[in-house]
Amino acid sequence: MGLGAAAELLRFERVSRSFVDGRSRSITALEEIDLTVQRGEFVSIIGPSGCGKSTLLRLAAGLDRPTSGRVLYDGQPVAGPDRRRGFVFQTYNAFPWLSVRDNIAFGIQRLTPELRDQKVSAWLDLTGLREFADRYPKVLSGGMRQRLALARAMVVEPELLLLDEPFGALDERTRREMQRLLLETVERARCSVLFVTHDIREAILLGDRVLLVGMRPGRILDEFVPSSPKPRTRNVMNDAALVALHETIVNQFPGVDTLPGG
């Protein structure tokens, strides 16, 4: 993106993460990961199931710590969760006992009631959830729950948004709507994004860069930069350069013959 080193927000320096399974065997999920995310950059991460993509996000969020290496945020070691880093999980994670309105407001209780109501109201409108503001998450469709998850993460105005396959369970039409909403939201907020997906087309459509992670132990195998300017639509995927990029990624995808979205 040409932003320069001074704009760097997140850095992984030779990060590895190992776990011990139930049989006391050491399993390496990630190995020697070097990764940077610039301010305002959208980085897509793809790779086979079990390659450590979710672990990478948890390390960036401060929900886990590396076995070796360092994760730096704004030049400082990540020591734990921080409101500057928002997380949207693969599974719906709203508080079922709180209304949609109160779920969105949960992370901004420190604000004055007036400012809190103003921000919640804005996100109800942005996500199209105004009609359901006083309902509970159980009555929401899958797409609405992901809209709620995005609102909960963004209302705190994070500098970095971490998303772990947030649209994987959605139907195609709802998925496209959520992709559009995500791009509009991060553009408005000017935040950085680290986005995990299994869908190669989705990774290309949304990302400024696409990183391909290999099978466990996960390593970054390659980096791709889509040539078409954003915002991109599904129609853009007919562009010869993006078709060629898609085929290149498919051919390099490790250990899988048929891919979702491929």
- The answer to whether residue 108 sits within a structural domain is no
Instruction: Give the residue with greater pLDDT, 235 vs 45.
Output: 45
Contact 197, 165 (CB under 8 A): yes
Q: Is residue 255 part of a domain?
A: yes
Give the pLDDT score at 3: 45
DSSP letters for 188-235: HHT-EEEEE-S-HHHHHHH-SEEEEEPSSSB-EEEEE---SPSS--GG
* Residue 102 forms part of a structural domain: no
The first and second tokens of residue 17, run together, are 């993460």
Residue 5 CA to chain centroid, in angstroms?
Answer: 22
The answer on pLDDT for 231 being more than 80 is no
Tell me, what DSSP letter sits at residue 136?
-
Q: Return the structure tokens found at 91.
A: 């599974």
260 belongs to a structural domain: yes
Question: Quick check: 179 and 206 in contact, CB under 8 A?
Answer: yes
pLDDT of residue 255: 63
Amino acid 60 reads A
Q: How confident is the model at residue 235 (pLDDT cuts 50, 70, 90)?
A: low
Per-residue DSSP letter, 176: H
202 — pLDDT class (breaks 50, 70, 90) = very high
Helix (H, G, I), strand (E, B) or coil at 163: strand
Determine what percent of the chain is predicted with pLDDT higher than 90: 68
Q: Phi/psi at 161 (nearest 5 deg)?
A: -110, 125
With 90 as the cut, is the pLDDT of residue 242 above it? no
Place 90 in a pLDDT band, splitting at 50, 70 and 90. Answer: confident
Model pLDDT, residue 59: 97
Distances (CA, A) of 224 to 18, 211, 221, 242: 27, 6, 10, 11
For residue 13, is pLDDT > 70?
Answer: yes
pLDDT at 236: 64
Residue 135 lies in a domain: no
CATH number of domain containing 208: 3.40.50.300
Confirm whether 155 is domain-assigned: no
- Please report which confidence band the pLDDT of residue 228 belongs to, taking 50, 70 and 90 as the band edges: confident
Residue 50 scores a pLDDT above 60: yes
- Structure confidence at residue 234 (pLDDT): 66
State which H helix or E strand residue 250 sits in. Answer: helix 240-252
Please count the helices (runs of H) and the strands (runs of E) in the chain: 7, 10
| Angle made by CA atoms 200, 196, 97, in degrees to the nearest 5 | 130
Task: Give the list of residues 6+ apart from residue 130 with CB closer than 8 angstroms, or none.
Answer: 124
User: Lowest-pLDDT range, 60-69, 179-188, 246-255?
Assistant: 246-255
pLDDT at 156: 93
Query: In the predicted model, is pLDDT for residue 259 greater than 70?
Result: no
Rounded mean pLDDT of the chain?
89
User: Over the stretch 105-160, which tens digit does the pLDDT of each residue have?
Assistant: 999 999 999 999 999 999 999 999 999 999 999 999 989 999 999 999 999 999 99
91 within some domain? no
Write down the pLDDT at residue 26: 84
**For residue 13, what are the domain limits?**
1-84+160-166+192-262
Instruction: Indicate the number of domains in the chain.
Output: 1
Q: Is residue 118 part of a domain?
A: no
pLDDT at 92 over 50: yes
Alpha-carbon distance of 74 to 180, in angstroms, equals 28
Angstrom distance (rounded) from CA 121 to CA 150: 14
